[in-house]
Amino acid sequence: MKSTEVDFFKTIEIAEVLNGVPHGVAILDRELRIVEMNSFLELLTGFTTADAKGVYADFILRTNIDNHGKQFCELLETGEFLSVAGDIITQRHKKIPIHFTVSPLNDESGQAVGLFMFLEDISLLQSFDKKRHSLEGVKDILGHSPKMLEMFELMPVLAHTDASVLITGETGTGKDMIAEAIHKASKRSRHPFIKVNCGALPEALLESELFGHARGAFTGAVKDKPGLFRLAHDGTIFLTEIGDLPLTLQVKLLSVLDDKEFFPVGGEKKVKVNVRIIAATHRSLRELVKRGEFREDLFYRLNVLRLHLPALREREGDIRLLLDYFLREFSGNLNKSIQGYSKNAIDILTAYHYPGNVRELRNIAEYAANIRVRILMSRKENLLQAVAVGVRLKKR
């Protein structure tokens, strides 16, 4: 170091530098006593640097991360750094979640002379994360009928376990949305959510899609394919229309559920995966089991947690809510000013039994938003046209 540089550094007060850091900073000696604290940490802990100097750091910081100083002593010995989340308790009796980064401070000879502690207040981050986890998944699912409220209550419970979930319900009730919402609210939310329609592909192709294949396993297999199970590692795989899964693949799926490992098609090495399975079907698996079309053991394996989605006709009051929501959404997308439904249209629409459930209702609303012509139709005409009658246009 040049002499001018040395002079420069001599003029800088270390405390002033630390005070410029917008997070808590502490410097500890080899005995793990406080040598220096910045003003941010003073505010955080409620102790002044003058009072804290010379006191064992754990008594000032009151963290939950250091087990009687053992961990910090190890850092001094090994020269490694520690990055861990924990909390502190302040003098104002608040428990604040903190991300701690602790690294050794070395002298010119490389000898550790103390520790540098960086304390980042992550309470805001955690509250956002909690909100995101709790709301993101369900924000798109509408309903205030008792059956839906029951389901909303059950969803966090399903999200916080790792057990398999079987979602049942008629077509168009929103099984896919619920599965994704459970994934998003779970601890696996940062990992992939992969949806597979078991009824969409022929058996041979489905096996290769799900479990992957080795190069040369069959004609056209020119390279290794990881398969959707491997892609969903640490995340969730959503098997929709599980009732359509061929019997041979049911055996393989059962072994994956039991052992969490499988052989890719034509592969010699077992692949281990950590995947949560959510399955859905609009068919009665119990009936399929009776008819011998679905394996009983797989049924019980999947049926750990069961969620039955109510049909739209069973959701009192939700039809009106959804009609308004979808009409507003589509009219917004189309940049049209639509006031709403006429009384006549509402009467027809709320009395309708919706065999296609929310999907059908959504299509009706989309049709209504698109067709703006007021034409008188009788009730005998098909429902979609009747809706078009009911949509009143705002006069510009």
* Residues in contact with other proteins by the rule CB under 8 A: 31-33, 46-47, 51-56, 58-60, 62, 64, 68-69, 88-95
Helix axes 343-351, 383-390, angle to 10 degrees: 150
Largest CA distance in the chain: 97
Distance in Å, CB of 63 to other proteins, minimum: 8
Residue (of 213, 290, 209, 301) closest to 251 by Cα position: 301
- Which of 65, 177 has the CB closer to other proteins? 65
> In the complex, what is the shortest distance from the CB of residue 92 to other proteins, in angstroms, rounded to a whole number?
8
Residue 65 or 254 with smaller CB distance to other proteins: 65
Closest CB to other proteins among residues 30, 372: 30
Q: Are 354 and 313 in contact (CB under 8 A)?
A: yes
Q: Which of 117/232 has CB closer to other proteins?
A: 117
The end-to-end CA distance of the chain, in Å, is 77
* Cα–Cα distance measured from residue 79 to residue 14, given in angstroms and rounded to the nearest whole number: 22
Chain center to CA of 196: 18
Nearer to other proteins, 62 or 372 (CB): 62
Give the sign of the dihedral formed by CA 375, CA 378, CA 381, CA 382. positive
Q: Which two tokens stand for residue 292?
A: 């011998």
Cα–Cα distance for residue pair 24/121, rounded to 1 Å: 8
- Which residue stretches of 103-226 are H helix? 123-135, 146-159, 175-184, 203-211
Helices 318-333 and 343-351, axial angle in degrees (round to 10): 120
Q: Which of 245, 159, 238 is nearest to 199 (CA)?
A: 245
Measured from the CB atom, the residue of 126 and 363 that comes closer to other proteins is 126
Residue with Cβ nearer other proteins (57 or 167): 57
Q: Provide the minimum distance between the beta carbon of 55 and other proteins in the complex, in angstroms, as a whole number.
A: 5
Residue recorded with tokens 């490389």: 110
Report the nearest approach of other proteins to the CB of residue 70 (Å). 9
Q: 171 is written with which tokens? A: 């077509």
CB of 91 to other proteins, least distance (A): 5
